[in-house]
Amino acid sequence: MNVALSPEGRWLGVAIAGIILAWAAWRLPWDKVRGDAEAQRIFAIFIAVIILLRAPSTQSVMGINLHFLGASIATLMFGARFALIALAVVSAAWALLGRVWLGWGWDFIANDALPVAVTAGVGALVVRYLPAHIFIYIFGNAFFAAGLAMLSSITFKAIVTVWLGGDAASYAIAAIPMAFGEAFFTGGAMALIVVYRPQWCASFDDARYLTRRD
């Protein structure tokens, strides 16, 4: 169910998104990609792929705009700051097509910033409290974090929808299936990346996860 937001409310979303992006741009580790043609190419390809992945998948069935996020993959591959920059471009691309949730600002907050924060937070907890094992990385940092990130995004949309006088029933119905879909997609993608192209993944440390310990 679509809900309306005042122009002031939309500009508030843009302002909050701008603050988040300013934080991301501040001390952005450009040295990690400067002069690295492969890293720059992968970053650009990722943005293009996620733009296609964001095509709404539930609009025609449930009347709400839900889709895969890709935010957890972005966070694990590039780090939180680069992930926010990349995902802001993705949301902006869909904003130009008029297919974003309550305008670009709130779409960025719900689909990008919040899931990136959840993924980074879960990753930090996994590193701190769980053993350094590749399967724990895949299931904790990727699978579980991505599912929780999707749930947080949908929950945020549902709360705002109710606050604006709409019905959040469709969000409740879609939450679990979408979370599992995001979790499986992210877990599978990151498993392939850390096995075949670990250099593409900023959060995966070969010395930590692959060094044999007796």
Mean pLDDT by 10 residues, the chain (214 residues): 81 96 91 82 95 73 77 96 96 91 94 98 95 92 97 96 90 92 96 92 84 57
- What pLDDT is stored for residue 35 in this prediction? 77
With tokens 């979408």, the residue in question is: 178
Burial class (CB in 10 A: 0-12, 13-18, 19+), 123: buried
- What pLDDT is stored for residue 44 in this prediction? 95
Rounded Cα distance, 17 and 23, in Å? 10
- In angstroms, the first-to-last Cα distance of the chain is 55
Check: CB of residue 122 under 8 Å from CB of residue 144.
yes
- What pLDDT is stored for residue 57 in this prediction? 61
Comparing CA positions, the residue from 214, 191, 211 lying closest to residue 76 is 191
Check: CB of residue 190 under 8 Å from CB of residue 142.
yes
- What pLDDT is stored for residue 2 in this prediction? 61
Comparing CA positions, the residue from 171, 156, 155, 147 lying closest to residue 69 is 147
Rounded Cα distance, 186 and 72, in Å? 7
- What pLDDT is stored for residue 177 in this prediction? 92
Which structural domains are found in the chain, ordered by start? 7-209 (1.10.1760.20)
Rounded Cα distance, 89 and 102, in Å? 16
- What pLDDT is stored for residue 41 in this prediction? 93
- What pLDDT is stored for residue 205 in this prediction? 85
Helix, strand or coil, per DSSP, at residue 105: helix
This prediction's pTM: 0.92
Based on DSSP, count helices (H) and strands (E) in the chain, helices before strands. 11, 0
